[in-house]
Amino acid sequence: MIILMRNKFKYIASFVITFLVLALQPAWAEGPPAPSIFNNALALSLLALMVLLLIVIGILGNILIGAADINAKKRKSENKSGIITGLILLTLLFSQGVFAQNETAKVIQTTSTEMGGMPASTFYIMIAVLFIELIIILTLLINIKLLLKKETQKLVTEAEVAEVEKQKANKLSWWAKVNKLRPIKEEAELDLGHDYDGIRELDNKLPPWWLYGFYLTIIFAVVYLWRFQVSHTGPTGIQEYERSVAKAEINIQKYLKSKGESVDENTVTLLTDEADIAAGKAIFMDPSKCPACHNADGGGNAVGPNLTDDYWLYGGNVKDIFKTIKYGTTKGMRSWKDDLSAKQIAQLVGYVKSLKGSKPANPKEPQGELYKEASDTPVKDSTSTVVK
């Protein structure tokens, strides 16, 4: 790249020198002029400015060469041929104006006017050279700025990539150390020579964590076999199931007992608590339940018997009454087990037992068998009108 840039500036310098020489040719077309151009102050100033700009071009060219990328060589031949072609075309164009010695020189002498004490054509050519030099300087500055920006971005990108690679290496280093991994450059030593669809077989050792896990499974299997198959100190699957069922049953009974639902017709007892009696009364007084058959005061009606006397159709003890309410009867009494909980039925039994001896407004005649609380034995009464 540096050699290419040097060659470019050689061509540019040659091009500028050619312009300088051509700038003096119009005065020599008809022979040497009488006064020298170096006697003109304006001409000397323009020449000095052109030389100064040429020096600036050389300095900027050296800076651009120093900042150029040494790997960019692919456009070397294209740039070289383009510059050479441009110089040849420009030289030919200016040569046509220089070597027109007859009619063209005469026309210049007759039509041109002096500017600053020198021919106008010479002045314009020198101005054109200065303009070209300024364009070259501006182009060099733009290229230097773009090149520096590109190099800066490249350095930043390389630094970021290096930082990311460093972080990755640090992040995975502990894993490589624990698993004792081998670097990629040593894969050739591990290759077993087997290749299956592009997948090579390497003689890598198993990771330590895998080996230790496998050893633990062997130890566990030995202990398990000894406990459950040899010494029989551990429970079998059936024993574990039976224990789980028993434990679940205990938990269910505890739960039901906490809610008062663990009672049934075999375990129920008479509830005499005021709170339980009040809860039973609330159930009994519900119009959709007991009053429809037994009236609100328990005296009975055409459908249901009197609940305040000592006569009972299906038994008068607590367990019999609980069973009658829970399962119902075949003679009109419906089952309430789906509507009332076990505790609610027990509370209802307590309230019904509390109705004994009360005096309803219109009690129904006794039905069933006489029940004595003291003896807890039902006694048949000849006065009963309906026998179960």
The CATH number assigned to the domain holding 312 equals 1.10.760.10
pLDDT at position 87 is 45
User: Is 18 within a domain?
Assistant: yes
Are residues 182 and 190 in contact, defined by beta-carbon separation less than 8 angstroms? yes
Domain containing 151: what range? 2-163
337-353 average pLDDT score: 90
Sole residue written with tokens 């006569």? 311
- Asked if residue 296 and residue 210 are part of one domain, the reply reads no
- Long-range Cβ pairs for the range 115-119 (8 Å, 24+): 116/40, 116/42, 116/43, 117/40, 117/41, 117/42, 117/43, 118/37, 118/40, 118/42, 118/43, 119/26, 119/27
Question: Band of the pLDDT at 99, cuts 50, 70, 90?
Answer: very low
Spatial CB neighbours of 59, under 8 Å, sequence gap ≥ 6: none
pLDDT surpasses 50 at 103:
no
Question: Checking DSSP bridges between strand 191-196 and strand 199-202, what pairing results, if any?
Answer: antiparallel
pLDDT tens across 176-220, in order? 667 777 666 677 777 888 888 888 888 877 888 888 999 999 999
- Asked if residue 112 and residue 28 are part of one domain, the reply reads yes
Are residues 364 and 383 in contact, defined by beta-carbon separation less than 8 angstroms? no
Q: How far is CA 210 from CA 9, 177, 189, in A?
A: 68, 15, 23
- Asked if residue 359 and residue 211 are part of one domain, the reply reads no
User: Is 367 within a domain?
Assistant: yes
User: Is 69 within a domain?
Assistant: yes
* 6-10, 69-73, 222-226, 229-233: range with lowest mean pLDDT: 69-73
Question: Band of the pLDDT at 278, cuts 50, 70, 90?
Answer: very high
User: Is 74 within a domain?
Assistant: yes
* 47-51, 325-329, 348-352: range with lowest mean pLDDT: 47-51
Q: What is the 3-state secondary structure (H, E, C) of 209-268?
A: HHHHHHHHHHHHHHHHHHHHHHCCCCCCHHHHHHHHHHHHHHHHHHHHHHHCCCCCCCCC
- Asked if residue 130 and residue 57 are part of one domain, the reply reads yes
pLDDT at position 386 is 36
Question: Band of the pLDDT at 29, cuts 50, 70, 90?
Answer: very low
pLDDT at position 209 is 86
- Asked if residue 331 and residue 197 are part of one domain, the reply reads no
pLDDT tens across 260-269, in order? 667 888 888 8
Instruction: Note the Cα 21 to chain centre separation in Å.
Output: 73
* 17-31, 154-168, 321-335, 348-362: range with lowest mean pLDDT: 17-31
- Asked if residue 138 and residue 13 are part of one domain, the reply reads yes
Domain boundary residue, one of 203, 220, 237: 220
Instruction: Note the Cα 163 to chain centre separation in Å.
Output: 25
pLDDT at position 58 is 82
- Asked if residue 282 and residue 204 are part of one domain, the reply reads no
Are residues 364 and 381 in contact, defined by beta-carbon separation less than 8 angstroms? no
User: Is 251 within a domain?
Assistant: no
- Asked if residue 96 and residue 7 are part of one domain, the reply reads yes
DSSP class of residue 2 equals: H
User: Is 176 within a domain?
Assistant: no
- Asked if residue 374 and residue 306 are part of one domain, the reply reads yes
- Amino acid in the structure at residue 47: L
Question: Band of the pLDDT at 359, cuts 50, 70, 90?
Answer: confident
Distance from C-alpha of 283 to C-alpha of 347, rounded to nearest angstrom: 9
Per cent of the chain over pLDDT 90 is 17
Are residues 118 and 40 in contact, defined by beta-carbon separation less than 8 angstroms? yes
| Mean pLDDT score across all residues of the chain | 75
User: Is 191 within a domain?
Assistant: yes
- Asked if residue 333 and residue 209 are part of one domain, the reply reads no
- Asked if residue 280 and residue 144 are part of one domain, the reply reads no
Distance from C-alpha of 378 to C-alpha of 369, rounded to nearest angstrom: 7
pLDDT surpasses 50 at 13:
yes
pLDDT surpasses 50 at 63:
yes
In total, how many domains does the chain have?
3
Name the 3-class secondary structure at 193. strand
- Asked if residue 103 and residue 32 are part of one domain, the reply reads yes
User: Is 46 within a domain?
Assistant: yes
311-324 average pLDDT score: 91
